[in-house]
Amino acid sequence: MEQIELDYETVQLAVRGSRKAQEKLLIYYDRYINTLSMVEEEDEEGHLRRYVDEDLKAEIQRKYLEAISKCKVIK
Amino acid sequence: MSTPLYDEAQKMALAIFDSFSKTAMRNACRSYLSAKRKRKQKEVVGSEAVQYVIDTHGETDIYPSEHIITDSHGHSCVITTEWLYQAMLQLTEQQKEVLILEFWYGMMICSIAEMLHITERTVYNRKQSAFRSIRKYYEEKR
């Protein structure tokens, strides 16, 4: 996925509740969220398997969207 | 039109917002993993509860190769010990029937009497004589 630039206007719109701007933020932070959602598990043969826990990713995104409107730095 | 000072302020706000965003996401991640760990611990408790139910209400399966079936007047029962089966063979059909109805079917004496159209005293007598026969057989074999 191509990395997009984070600009003040988009953040401002997202804090004010714009769905489109919030989606842009989710795209911007997608790599970071994937890193947080990465899970390591050992399979039956002892091989280490790394994968993105989709439930965890969805939960992070949900909580983040809830938190955005609480950011007081952007007015 | 934006001034350099205004741009600086926006840059600073964006940096703070970035930090805020990452903290919010890390916290969400931590609380999800913590809740998952707690759920896992509860699952262990859950399996103990299941074990408790099995221990208190579970029944042991009886396999055909491990038991002997005897019957009397259409009432059958499962016997798991050889000596009791042999002792039951010594009984009359009527005695066997009363024992099966009471101890295998769990019926009350009054219900057995009603079912067989006999008095409760007769049921009692048949049961007692059956006990005597079984006891005699057991003592002889011991």
Give the CATH number of the domain where residue B122 resides.
1.10.10.10
Instruction: Clarify whether residues B68 and B101 are in a common domain.
Output: yes
Please list, residue by residue across B43-64, b when 16 or more beta carbons sit within 10 angstroms of its beta carbon and e when fewer do. Answer: eeeeeeeeeeeeeeeeeeeeee
In a domain, A1, yes or no: no
Chains A–B, number of C-beta pairs less than 8 Å apart: 55
In a domain, A26, yes or no: yes
Interface check A35 vs B, CB under 8 A: no
pTM over 0.95: no
Per-residue model confidence as pLDDT tens digits over A10-57: 999 999 999 999 999 999 999 999 999 999 888 888 888 899 999 999
Q: Which domain range does residue B39 map to? A: 1-59
Nearest CB among B10, B22, B25 relative to A8 is that of B10
Give the domain-ending residue among B27, B59, B91: B59
Per-residue model confidence as pLDDT tens digits over B32-43: 999 988 888 776
ipTM: 0.89
Mutate to test the interface with A, among B14, B27, B31, B34 (most CBs of A within 10 A): B14
Instruction: Clarify whether residues B79 and B22 are in a common domain.
Output: no
Q: What residue of B is the nearest CA neighbor of A32?
A: B22
Q: Which of A14, A12, A8 is nearest to A65 (CA)?
A: A14
